[in-house]
Amino acid sequence: MSDSVLLERRDHIAFITLNRPERGNALDLEMSAAIVQAVNVVAEDTGLRAVLIQAAGSRFCVGGAIESFVEAGTQMAELLARQIPPIHAAILRLAQLPIPVVSAVNGPVGGGGIGLALCADIVLAAESMKLRAGYSAIGLTPDVGGSWFLTRLVGPMRAKRILFTNEPWSAQQCLAAGIVSEVYADGALAVHAHALVKTLAQSATGSLGRIKRLVDGVAQRTFEQQLEVECHYMIESAASSEALEGVRAFTEKRAPRFDLHL
């Protein structure tokens, strides 16, 4: 795997780290391919219980590597035709993992980095986070799922404002709009992010996966359909060893050991 993306597995948690800080973790062909490779490894690891996406340096991901667009010149469309489909497949796979995904966003995030950050189930931000789309400023349009995630989180009108105007949104603005879950001091982000994924990894993985599917599918279902799916998942959950352990631990007034009851 390329050094531009680091993948570490520790205590049933996968840590995906964008690792080209000197270039703002920009997405060029090499970085995109490394992300795809890391996601594919994670998706095939059935022993994982949580994933953390983070970045080295002071910038999470500035988006596409503009210099590569300049170098491509009139062949820019061909370049993007090679680069985008694989990372789109990877971001879809990452978003649909049956385990919790957390992102820890430090500093500027723009372009395709927006989709990479917002594909997570829970997005944590540093005070230094600053979201700026940037696409229309150079005559391009969103990719890596940015338009989908933003519209889902803030609604069509706000999403258009973000994408039309390229105005920077601070961490606190993102918090108020529901783009991120929490904001921490820069020096505390990693500590809180690591604590959260550790907690999630110790939780009932099957239950979390069903909750994820319930919540993510709301927009595609009627209320009646949602109730039907809730019923199905509740019965499915009740038949699991996790539920037996959870109920037993509750009555015995002890912490459950879900990791021993997969």
Q: Is the pLDDT of residue 1 over 70?
A: no
The pLDDT > 90 percentage for the chain reads 97
Q: Which of 237, 182, 179 has its CA nearest to residue 208?
A: 237
Which DSSP letter does residue 64 get? B
Structure tokens at 206: 């099957």
If you average pLDDT over every residue of the chain, what do you get?
Answer: 96
- Which homologous superfamily is 5-201 in? 2-enoyl-CoA Hydratase; Chain A, domain 1 (3.90.226.10)
Q: Is the pLDDT of residue 181 over 60?
A: yes
Q: Specify whether the CB–CB gap between 20 and 31 falls below 8 A.
A: yes
- State residue 122's pLDDT score: 98
6-37 pLDDT, tens digit per residue, is 999 999 999 999 999 999 999 999 999 999 99
Q: Specify whether the CB–CB gap between 43 and 97 falls below 8 A.
A: yes
- State residue 262's pLDDT score: 52
Domain ranges of the chain: 5-201, 205-260
Domain topology for 205-260: Lyase 2-enoyl-coa Hydratase; Chain  A, domain 2 (1.10.12)
Q: What is the rounded average pLDDT of the residues 219-241?
A: 96
* CB-based contacts of 11, cutoff 8 Å, min separation 6: 198, 201
User: At 261, is the pLDDT very low, low, confident or very high (cuts 50, 70, 90)?
Assistant: low
- State residue 2's pLDDT score: 76
The strands making up 5-10's β-sheet, listed across from edge to edge, are: 5-10, 13-18, 50-55, 101-105, 122-126, 182-184
Q: Specify whether the CB–CB gap between 20 and 4 falls below 8 A.
A: yes
- State residue 234's pLDDT score: 97
pTM of the full structure? 0.94
Q: What is the rounded average pLDDT of the residues 227-251?
A: 96
* CA 190 – CA 248 distance, rounded (Å): 34
192-226 pLDDT, tens digit per residue, is 999 999 999 999 999 999 999 999 999 999 999 99
41-74 pLDDT, tens digit per residue, is 999 999 999 999 999 999 999 999 999 999 999 9
